[in-house]
Structure 1
């Protein structure tokens, strides 16, 4: 049902996104900070959201691609020229952010911890 893809950094994300078939199933990207040696992100909001998002996605009964995108370490993310911030397709302002690819829906920051908002991303699907 849910196909998980791990993408590390902007270049890997861009290659993957550019190669997506336009007729493909729904693609959701989850943008988060790099994981530290202890397995959690340096971003406290990402640490809070990740278990909620992962649990939701593991229970989802839809045919979607879920891309977990590592945006980099804190200095990389905080740079205003970070490509995740400047890419016109993304224009990320905060992490975590969940984006429905080629759609208008997105959840940012604490919105990513709300199961009802996660469910709304999948309404009106085939």
Structure 2
């Protein structure tokens, strides 16, 4: 019997029976509630360190202000180009899991909708 796919891309497949992410299979019957979209804030630790290190070096002697300026600009660029990531959050018998993570919010939204359709059909068939 061939699976009827609700959603399929290079890394994710959603059918009425299974949710497959990078080869890892999550049976739909084990997912205990509706899927959700999670927001993962970008890591900005290195950018902040570069900005503050650059500020300190700006007040140094000789060539340190030049290095401080470069480091400050580099940290600012890192800070402003960091993008949030989105995840497909599923509840699997007692725990939450970020099943799939992407920078593309539309892709994650489509996966969550497909999962919720599969979960809804599970509710109807049982």
TM-score range, shorter chain: under 0.3
Q: TM-score, normalised by structure 1?
A: 0.26
**Max radius of gyration: which structure?**
2
Q: TM-score, normalised by structure 2?
A: 0.26
Q: Which has the higher strand share?
A: 2
Tell me which of the two structures has the higher relative contact order, counting C-alpha pairs closer than 8 angstroms and 6 or more residues apart.
1
